[in-house]
Amino acid sequence: MDKITSETDLISLGKRPLPHSTFFELTFEMLMLAQAFLRSILPETLLARLDIDHLTLAPKKMYDVWFKETRADVVYRVPIRDSITYIDFFIILEHKSFDDFWTILQVFCYAARICEREFRTAEEKGLIDKSYRLPPVIVIIIHHGETQFTGSIELDKLFYDLPEIQELLPKMKAILLDLSVMDESAIPSDPNVPELKAVLMILKVIFSKDVGVKAKDVFEELKPYSDNPKYRYLIRLICIYLANNAQHLKNQPVKLEQVIQTIVGEKDMSTLYELWTKEGEVKGEAKGKAEGEAKAIIRILTRRLELPSQPLQQKINSIRDINKLDELTDFALTCVSLEEFTTALN
């Protein structure tokens, strides 16, 4: 847990919505967690070629004329052992809290942008000749929705089925970690990096009816490390995430604030207790913000193009993910037709 948010920043974070995507990014950008995760999920033969100890975070946003902005959830750059210096290995982590059939197409676009960016960089350095090779890029999809992930993890499966050209189609296959159907005993863990299993367990149970009981177990696992500021930060971050997203928490017999109080102590409990008691207020603010952004999108589309159909308006109004609404707002300002916007929305 190398990247520590200040106490002031964390308290500020607790006063606004914390969507699934933000929690995922904040935790999987912790380098020790990332290294432990990759060691637990990548094939040993591949790990032998990678210098995981020197993993770094790569830029997530890339721009071009057609796509405007392409944004991945988390991208790691990993040196390849005994390789030429200008080639690294890239790992895209794509997080999904819902079943998205077209995920593999989305991450294929990310991978293409990474290759283009690296090619341009090498070109500027005068490294492009017949010996140059594009950097390897792989994708890991982490899903923790209320139902099993049913999207394809193979890109060529999305194309119209013509067996005669199957081997000519673009190829990409992702590694899928579907926490929604994974047994707890199979969740990746590392005894030296307890934050890995803690974060994955919270993601797994966030939609569960027994989330309170499972979260209590996670906090108990972290208790021996609670004197370390890094883990106190993680405990508080998990609290904020639960308060914002665990819909079944209020119906739990387990009083998490009591469990947390024994871990973080009296002096640190006040802001956490405010968070729990103001849970409804926080969610209400989140709902109000989402409704406001949805109305703004409809207003932009109406002024730029035409009034969206009633079904399209209802679909926009049903979205509660602030990050997705932000992206749709940007797209509403640049799309050339309602058909293009509808395609992006779907």
**Residue 304 within a domain:** yes
> d(Cα 294, Cα 68) in Å, to the nearest integer?
21
**Residue 220 within a domain:** no
**Residue 298 within a domain:** yes
Report the number of distinct structural domains present in the chain: 1
**Residue 321 within a domain:** yes
**Residue 322 within a domain:** yes
> Domain range spanning residue 334?
285-345
Long-range contacts of 59-63 (CB under 8 A, 24+ apart): 59/117, 62/110, 62/113, 62/114, 62/116, 62/117
Closest CA to 167 of 151, 156, 183, 153: 156
Structure tokens at 257: 């604030």
List C-alpha distances in Å: 63 to 69, 116, 341.
Answer: 5, 10, 19
- Tens digit of pLDDT per residue, the chain (346 long)? 444 444 445 545 555 567 898 899 999 999 999 999 999 999 999 999 999 999 999 886 654 444 444 567 899 999 999 876 678 999 999 999 988 899 999 999 899 999 999 999 999 999 999 989 999 999 999 999 989 999 999 999 999 989 889 889 999 999 999 999 999 999 999 999 999 999 999 999 999 988 888 998 999 899 898 888 888 889 888 988 888 888 887 666 556 666 676 666 655 555 554 555 554 444 545 566 777 788 888 888 887 788 888 888 888 888 878 778 878 887 887 777 888 888 888 7
**Residue 275 within a domain:** no
pLDDT at 280: 46
DSSP assignment, residue 192? T
pLDDT at 317: 85
**Residue 66 within a domain:** no
> d(Cα 24, Cα 83) in Å, to the nearest integer?
31
Closest CA to 128 of 116, 145, 111: 116
**Residue 314 within a domain:** yes
pLDDT at 271: 52
